[in-house]
Structure 1
Amino acid sequence: MKKIIVQCASNRAHHLHVYDIIFELIKNNHVYILYNKEEDLGIFNDFKCYPNVYFCKSDFSFNIKNIFSPDYIFRIIRCKFIREDLNLSLYNIRNIIEIADVIIFTDLCSGNIVKKINNKIKVVWGMHGPVASSHTRSMCTSNVDLICSPGKTTSECFVNVNVKEIGSVKLNNLLSKKRSRLELFSVNRKTVLFNPHFNEKLGASSWVDHGIEILDFFSNNKDYNLIFAPHPRLCDYIDLSVVKQYIKFNNIIIDINSEKLTNLFYEPYVDIYLGDISSQAFEYAFLKKRKFIFFKSKFNTSETNKLQSMGVTVTDFTEFKRQINFGLTEIEIKNQQSYLNDVFKNETRSSAIAAEFIIEL
């Protein structure tokens, strides 16, 4: 039995991209879940009933073995005052890394730190959806032994590294379950999902530029239902007290903290997808061809442009109000299908195949 560490990212949007892989791995291996806070665990709590799954909390405590290391001191300061630091978590579980055979990241962390602790450990990236090529190429793949890619579009972002295309673990998880449809709104209208991303460097600006304007528009327009379901990380940056004021409208659902933000719960209800650069747009298009409206950003990347080719891109709010009344065109359907052929490999055993590649390392 191998000893395998799996990162539980604080970004809950990552979890379903490795969730079923963990189920495959725990059949014959010991699995260690690395997490920072209890609230980060989410669906990973499902594994607490398994005797061969161990939960390892990194409390960012000072480690006597590293306390005089300049790198360690820098990371302590960075974590406490700037942002969480995944590599600091690795220092604090070095006793587990020293005995582990494999570590799986969804945060695209290089193997440089872990292999200083254990030079025999294998480093795996479980990709959290089709990642923008401009972002992926900036990541260090040094000492990464395996990248599990959903398809050709992601695989082509990497050079000189072991990439295996496994299809979408998340979509296969969804398609394996029978989904019941509940009534979300009291009146049956066209339903719009507003799914803004948080990362402006990758092209996300729809919330900053038009967020409140969009909520105001739908609160005063009873021709549509609106589901406001942002990327979970965006909730760290928006004024929730302002957003919650829109809960009173019966044609608006405000979801800022539930698992529904990441598990595609709202997908069957959505007629129009409104957003910027979230990879969930690919998943929505895969499950059903529908109208996509994207807000153009001055930071658009080449990959963002490809994503937005699945629908229409608007440059201002006036153009958005015009486009929302137009239906799905044949050209848009063709573009969605053409691009999706390369985004997700046609594979129904994604998690099992990923586990096999990991065990073979």
Structure 2
Amino acid sequence: MAVSGARAADAVVVAEPEPAEYVKICDVYGSGYFYIPGTETCLRIGGYVRYDIGVGDVGSFDGATSADVEDGGSNDTYFKKARFSLKTWTGQETELGTLKTYTETRFNFQNNNRDAGALGDVNPAGNTGASLNFAWIQLGGLRVGKDESAFNTFIGYAGNVIQDTLVPYGDFDTNVIQYYFDAGNGFSAVISLEEGSGGGTVDLAGNGVYGVGTIDSYVPHVVGGLKYTQGWGAITGVLAYDSNYEEVSGKIRLDITPMQNLSLFIMGGYGTDDNLTDTTYAFPAGGRGFYKPWDGNWAVWGGGTYTINEKTSFNAQVSYDEGKNLGIAANIAYDVVPGFTVTAEVDYVNAGSIGEDGGTLNHNWTGITDGDDAIGGMLRFQRSF
């Protein structure tokens, strides 16, 4: 009886279950958002995993550089890059408008396929560190933080090809203070105060390659843009003031959709360059600046996308500038399954007459000498989520 009483006193008390708090879907800002538990903030997490295989000599901001083996270069190997990109979006309605944030952080493992110079054919692969590509806050139309220049984001990039900067159309990374305005009838506008990026680089002859991209005073770079969008397409213009070199550049773009599965664009750029070509600057820019990276005063880009079927598209771009630099890029993109795309691209570039008319550079910005050409290609595997 004593044993039985002891056991009865030690009876286990089962705690009441805590109420479960399930994640709620937020469909206000599009698919993939959910409410952060206990808040009114909607969050979306996404990104991609990418693997690039490049061959040949053609390069871009994010690809292989041109050091033609036939001309003594040493990059007779693959360009390889594996990347993990992590993105976040948030949105919340407030009395002052929608409060948004966007971030993107990239991690890369790669070799550069660059001319190794004195190192001969050594071109080691390795981690290149994390890069903060976007980190901005936007309330209503006001945006502050790390972004890409409105000189490119507002008017659009240069087509759906991988190597879209064979003739470059503007530099990218910058801190910004921007204001966007949307009239709701097809008209929109932006004004952007920008810091730029890059500290000035020189070549072996002492000539500037890009000059100083980051502002060197309290005067910011300034970008303004106007856009008119309708069912047929859009027409957009942007104008930029480089406060370091006190020069102005502009671009105008026309987008049209002549048929349901075909979209086309043409974009022209023009920039002044008196100070960009002045060799008395501490960092002479060699004619190229943050907002006018093409050679000469003018440049043009054109191309489009043709949707072959629901899984396959053909993309092409042709670019040319006053310095007679010609770039051609074309690819086929195939969606193997939703979220997984394989793209095969071929690229060609011909260096023009840089340096002929008293210029300071004697090679294309990708490294090709005057009158030379290069061809290469890229195979890209990308899983987006």
The answer, yes or no, to whether TM exceeds 0.5 is: no
Higher relative contact order (CA 8 A, sep 6+): 1
Q: TM-score if structure 1 supplies the norm length? A: 0.26
For normalisation by structure 2, the TM-score amounts to: 0.25
Larger radius of gyration: 2
- Decide which structure has greater helix share: 1
